[in-house]
Chain A
Amino acid sequence: MTTITYIEPSGREVAIDVPDGWSLMQGATANGVDGIVAECGGSCACATCHCYVDPARAGELPAPSAAELDMLANVAAERRPESRLACQLKAAPALAGLRVRVADTQE
C-alpha cells in the first residue's frame, strides 16, 4: 500500500492507501474520490482522469508514455507541465505521500 493524497475539485483532501501496482485512477474510483470520471476504464483512451501532480515531485515519476502524451492533448481542463492521467500512474513506494490534484473538469 502507498498513501496518496488526492485533492478533489472542491478542495477537499483525501488520503487513500492504494495497493501497489494499482493505478492512481483505480485508487480514486474504488474509494469514492470525487472528480475522476475514467470513462474508458483505464485503457488510456479518454483523458477523463486528468490530474495535476505536485510540481515539486513531478520529475520523480516515470515519464509519460507516447500514448499518454497523445491523450493529454485531449484534456478538458487546462493542461500544465505537471498534468498526468491518473490511470497511467501506478502506486509504488517511490510515490509515498504524493499529492495529486484532480482537474476541475474532465469532460
Chain B
Amino acid sequence: MFSFDPYSPAVDADPFPYYKTLRDEHPAFWSDEAGMWVLSRYADIVTALNEWQTYSSAKGNLMTELPNRAGATLGTTDPPRHDRLRGLIQHAFMKRNLEALADPIRTIARDAAAPLAGRREFDFIEEFSSKFTVRVLFAALGLPLGDEMAVREKAVLMVQSDPVTRAKGPEHIAAYNWMTEYAAGVIAERRRNPVGDLISLFSQAEIDGDRLDEREVLLTTTTLIMAGVESLGGFMAMFALNLADHADARRAVVADPALVPDAVEESLRFNTSAQRFRRCLQKDTELHGQTMRAGDFVCLAYGSGNRDERQFPNPDVYDVRRKPRGHLGFGGGVHACLGTAIARLSVRIAFEEFHRVVPDYRRVQAQLPWMPSSTFRSPTRLDLAIH
C-alpha cells in the first residue's frame, strides 16, 4: 500500500521516488499523514495555480501553517486583496529597481568568500551562504546590523516542522514569535523615522483609502525576512550541492561564468528548495477519477512537477544547458515568488565570487542532514572539500 508522508525524514532526504509513483499511479492522491490531497504532475499544478478561485490560498500556503498567519500575507490572500497588497511592494522587487543593489551584493559576496581562501574543507552553509544571505537581506531592507545571526537562526527554525507530531513544535512557534516581534520593532522604528524605503512605505500604505491591517503589515514583513534568509539560503545550498555533485557542470560554470544563470534555473528545477505549498479547495473538484471536496487542502508538489517527464525530458539529469523555462522553482501564477529578480541577482553574484576563491570542490558527507520541513528542502550542513 503506497503512502506519502511529507513529514517523513525519508521524504526530506529523497522525495523523488515517491513523486514518480505519485505522478504515474496516483496523480490525485489523498495523503492520510498530511491530511490533504497531493498533486504531482506539472500540468495539474499549473492549472491549480491558475485557478485561484478554486484553489484558494486564504487558508494558508505553507504545508504546516504558522498560527494566525493565513489571510495576512501575500501568499495567504486571494485576489483582489492579494493584488492590491502586492501592488504596494512589488515595484521594489522589479529587476530594474534592484540594480543599485548589485554593487553592495558583490561586496557582501567578496567579504563572505575571502576567509575561505586556502581552506581545505568547510561547511558551505555556516561559513558562506548564511553570512551572505542575511547580509543581503539587511542591505535590501535597510535593517540595522547587530541581529543578523539571530535573525538567520530564527528564520531557519520557523519554517521547520516536527516529523513525529507532524506539526509545528514549541521551538518553531517560539522562533516565529521572535521573528514577528523583531519585525514589529523594525516597523515601529520606520514609522517614527520614515526613510522612504520599502518597510517605511509599506507600514504607512493604504488600500482604497484604508490603512493596511496591522497584522498584514507585520506578517508580510515577517514573511519577507523569512524568505530572504531561509528561502535564498536553502536555494544556495541546493545549488552548491548540485555543482559539487556534478563536476562537469561545475567546471563549465567556473570556466564560463556566463553559464551561471542557466545553471541556476536548472537547479531551481532539479532540486527545488520550495518543494510543496498548499491550497484549499473552494468547490468539489473531480480530477483523475477522484472527487476532492470543498474545504479539502491540496498540496502542490512543485518539486515533483519539476521532475515530471511529461514536461521535462530526462528529468533526473542535472543539465546546465537545459534552459527549463516554465519550471515551478518559484511557484507560478498570481502567487509566483515576489523575490525572483533579487534571488537570481544574488545567487549569480554569490557564486561568481565564491568560484573566484573556491573553483574546485566536492561533497564530503555521503548522507546529508536534511532540514525537517514539510514545505522546504535543503541540508542543514554541507561540507565541501577542495580537490
Q: Is the CB of A45 within 8 A of B326?
A: no
CB of A53 within 8 Å of the partner chain = no
Compute the total of residue contacts between A and B using a CB distance below 8 Å.
68
Residues of B within 8 A of A107 (CB): 95
| Distance in Å: Cβ of A27 to nearest Cβ of chain B | 9
Residues of A within 8 A of B50 (CB): 21-23, 26, 90
Partner of B336, one of A22, A32, A36, A41: A41
Q: Is the CB of A29 within 8 A of B326?
A: yes
Residues of A within 8 A of B325 (CB): 29-30, 32, 36, 38
Given contacts A39-B95, A42-B334, 11 further A-B contacts (CB under 8 A): A21-B47, A23-B50, A26-B326, A30-B46, A30-B325, A40-B341, A41-B331, A42-B332, A42-B333, A45-B93, A90-B50
Beta-carbon contacts under 8 Å, B10-54 to A? 42-43, 46-47, 49-51
Beta-carbon contacts under 8 Å, A7-38 to B? 19, 21-23, 26, 29-30, 32, 36, 38
Closest to B90 in A: A45
Residues of B within 8 A of A32 (CB): 325
Q: Is the CB of A46 within 8 A of B333?
A: no
The CA-CA distance from A66 to B333 in the complex, in Å, is: 17
Beta-carbon contacts under 8 Å, B108-139 to A? none
The CA-CA distance from A30 to B46 in the complex, in Å, is: 10
CB of B195 within 8 Å of the partner chain = no
Residues of A within 8 A of B332 (CB): 26, 41-42
**14 pairs across A/B with beta carbons < 8 Å?**
A19-B47, A21-B47, A22-B46, A30-B42, A32-B325, A36-B325, A38-B326, A39-B95, A41-B332, A41-B337, A42-B332, A46-B340, A67-B87, A107-B95
Query: Given the interface contacts A22-B50, A67-B83, does A43 sit within 8 Å of B94 by beta carbon?
Result: no
Q: Is the CB of A40 within 8 A of B47?
A: no
Beta-carbon contacts under 8 Å, A40-66 to B? 40-46
CB of B86 within 8 Å of the partner chain = yes
Q: Is the CB of B96 within 8 A of A74?
A: yes
The CA-CA distance from A41 to B334 in the complex, in Å, is: 8
Partner of B47, one of A22, A29, A36, A41: A22
Residues of B within 8 A of A41 (CB): 330-333, 336-337, 340
Q: Is the CB of A43 within 8 A of B334?
A: yes
Query: Given the interface contacts A22-B46, A74-B96, does A43 sit within 8 Å of B333 by beta carbon?
Result: yes
CB of B180 within 8 Å of the partner chain = no
Q: Is the CB of A43 within 8 A of B86?
A: yes
Residues of B within 8 A of A70 (CB): 87
Residues of A within 8 A of B330 (CB): 41
The CA-CA distance from A46 to B46 in the complex, in Å, is: 19
Residues of A within 8 A of B331 (CB): 41
Q: Is the CB of B87 within 8 A of A40?
A: no
Q: Is the CB of B83 within 8 A of A45?
A: no
The CA-CA distance from A43 to B94 in the complex, in Å, is: 12
Residues of A within 8 A of B341 (CB): 39-40, 46
CB of B311 within 8 Å of the partner chain = yes
Q: Is the CB of A21 within 8 A of B51?
A: yes
